[in-house]
Amino acid sequence: MEKKKVAVSKVCHGHSRPVVDLFYSPVTPDGYFLISASKDSNPMLRNGDTGDWIGTFEGHKGAVWSSCLDTNALRAASGSADFSAKIWDALTGNELHSFEHKHIVRACAFSEDTHMLLTGGVEKILRIYDMNRPDAAPRELDKTPGSVRTVAWLHSDQSILSSCSDMGGVRLWDVRSGKIVQTLETKAPVTSAEVSQDGRFITTADGSSVKFWDANHFGLVKSYDMSCTVESASLEPKSGSKFITGGEDMWVHVYDFFTGEEIACNKGHHGPVHCVRFAPVGESYASGSEDGTIRIWPLNPANADDAEAPTANGKPKAAAVAAANEVARKIEGFHITKEGQTEA
């Protein structure tokens, strides 16, 4: 009989409204970090491994649609419905700069070298801000064909990816010329676009399918039709052998990259899953939901059929699983306030 995977997630409370974007930093000398964007207007920073709350960035006056960290996890950025993108000191939480826009900012991304910030939104304009001269006017690329939903850098900051919320396809921009040089065609709008950690693949979710593209030659490598509407997808960063999805059915699915076969289905959220991302070490992944919570899941959970096998301390695994479930229940009953105090 096929072994059933039992995943116990860490539940991260704190947001009071839906979580709409998640971003993991690369591994730094201090570990790796997770930043979340929420409609409650307060991006939050967490320890990427444990999910423990570190701080809340306070200052936006509207829903925050996007958030990210720079390569060293020293600065954070966020894009908001208050028509601004803000830069934050990730160590102190202080606002360093606010870039005013003329409409909602839906997406933002630091360049790999940390010197530039890319923004896009309802204005249909991609802007590049110089982090060394934040008061200088940004560089604007050619107008995008639709309202910008996602942005990402690739090719060592020589190229940019963007997708639109009102039309299909992912557009590849040449940074030097500021023009679109290629379009990766999809039937529906792309709600999630991720460049793999090794720079080889672009992973896109367009509602009905998840696609993997060659990031250098732009050919379609794999395409899998999904059984429900998918809003986000992420590729495992180390071996690239698995990918995850989240969407309307409130579950987080794990698939085999090579066959498209579902490996696991994680249940726990009480609303649609808006975003999923793998941690940079590949051993866990996070999901953000309409229910206002973030869940961190282990990639390789225990097998239910192995429950009676003894653990290292001689106890049956069933006891260990039961203990883990009890801990999970206790965690779900706690809430972390903005001050970092834990409430029952």
Give pLDDT tens digits for 118-159: 999 999 999 999 999 999 999 999 999 999 999 999 999 999
Give the tens place of pLDDT for each residue, 42-75.
Answer: 999 999 999 999 999 999 999 999 999 999 999 9
Q: Is 215 left (phi over 0), alpha (psi -120 to 50) or beta?
A: alpha
Q: How far apart (Å, rounded) are the C-alpha atoms in residues 272 and 155? A: 33
Q: How far apart (Å, rounded) are the C-alpha atoms in residues 125 and 103? A: 10
Predicted pLDDT at 3: 53
Predicted pLDDT at 300: 86
Give residues with Cβ within 8 angstroms of 144, minimum separation 6. Answer: 120, 124, 125, 126, 162, 164, 171
Predicted pLDDT at 68: 98
- Contact between residue 167 and residue 146 where contact means Cβ atoms under 8 Å apart: yes
Beta bridge partners of 140: 127
Token look-up 């940390």 returns: 114
Predicted pLDDT at 231: 98
pTM, two decimal places: 0.86
Predicted pLDDT at 279: 98
Q: Can you list the pairs that 296-300 forms with residues at least 24 positions away whose Cβ atoms lie under 8 Å?
A: 296/9, 296/10, 296/12, 296/34, 296/51, 297/7, 297/9, 297/252, 297/266, 298/7, 298/8, 299/236, 299/242, 299/254
Beta bridge partners of 202: 195, 213
Other Cβ atoms less than 10 A from the Cβ of 295: the count is 26
Q: What share of the chain is helix, strand, coil (3-state, %, to 5)?
A: 5, 50, 45
Predicted pLDDT at 154: 96
Predicted pLDDT at 302: 61
Q: Which residues of the chain have pLDDT under 70?
A: 1-6, 302-344
Predicted pLDDT at 7: 82
> Which pair of tokens denotes residue 294?
């973030």
